[in-house]
Amino acid sequence: SLRAAASGVPTSAVQVQSMAGMDCLIGFVGQGFAMLATDRNAARSIMVYSQKEDKIRELDSHKMLAVGGDPADTVQEPEYFQKNMALYALRNGVPLSTHAAANYMRGEKSYNLRRRLSAVDMLLVGYDEGVGPSLYFIDYLASMQQLDKTAMGYAGFFVNSTLDAHWKPDITETEGLELLEMCFAEIQKRFMISMPNFIIKVVDKDGIRVLERPPK
């Protein structure tokens, strides 16, 4: 694997103010699809750098990862996972299943955790032939759980209850978009940080698509 190439990280105890939690990551599975939505803020302290950030990485044709937490780690960690997953696919002729990918990532995060601090939360979503859509919650402590619906970050406080109330197992894509709009409304009403933009991506048997929010 590429682990040898990426080693050599200093393990100093410098405390950096962790920005983990400010990113809103929402995900759920539905009828033959899985959806991810995140806010589009890139900010530090009192400064907003951009409100067009795309926090959902496409790992391969049928997997995507919503990432939140400390800025540089949120780029380095998923990219490292993605390259190793691509290597696996080239070596073995088939890509990793979503289940295998989630476990692989969890294992790497666990390994890294015993060497340095890393504050990266992830929501992995994928579509596998024969299995269907699946959603995995992997937080910065490398806890992993397969779930039907969840939200990470401060958004979770506001949105998990909305998901509990309105999600159902056979939810359709249209209903899913409506559910997300309810979540966004809740965040924009009650969360202290202004979050004007959100990005929504869906994965189904045909791959990954970016969804437009319905006009007001």
- Three-state SS string over 53-103 comes to CCCEEEEECCEEEEEEECCCHHHHHHHHHHHHHHHHHHHHCCCCCHHHHHH
Q: CA-CA distances (angstroms) from residue 64 to 162, 208, 210?
A: 23, 8, 11
The smaller minimum CB distance to other proteins, of residues 93 and 169, is found at: 93
* Least Cβ distance, residue 32 to other proteins (angstroms): 26
* Least Cβ distance, residue 127 to other proteins (angstroms): 20
The smaller minimum CB distance to other proteins, of residues 5 and 46, is found at: 5
The smaller minimum CB distance to other proteins, of residues 83 and 99, is found at: 83
Query: Where in 129-184 does DSSP place strands (E)?
Result: 132-138, 144-147, 149-152
Interface with other proteins by CB under 8 A: which residues? 2, 5-6, 79-80, 83-84, 86-87, 90-91
The smaller minimum CB distance to other proteins, of residues 60 and 186, is found at: 60
**Structural element, H or E, at residue 28:** strand 25-30
* Least Cβ distance, residue 115 to other proteins (angstroms): 19
The smaller minimum CB distance to other proteins, of residues 41 and 74, is found at: 74
Angle at 119 between CA 53 and CA 121, to 5 degrees: 60
User: Considering only CA atoms, which of 22, 37, 32 is closest in space to residue 178?
Assistant: 37
Cα dihedral angle (175, 214, 55, 111), rounded to 10 degrees? 0
* Least Cβ distance, residue 82 to other proteins (angstroms): 8
* Least Cβ distance, residue 6 to other proteins (angstroms): 8
Largest Cα separation within the chain, whole Å, is 50
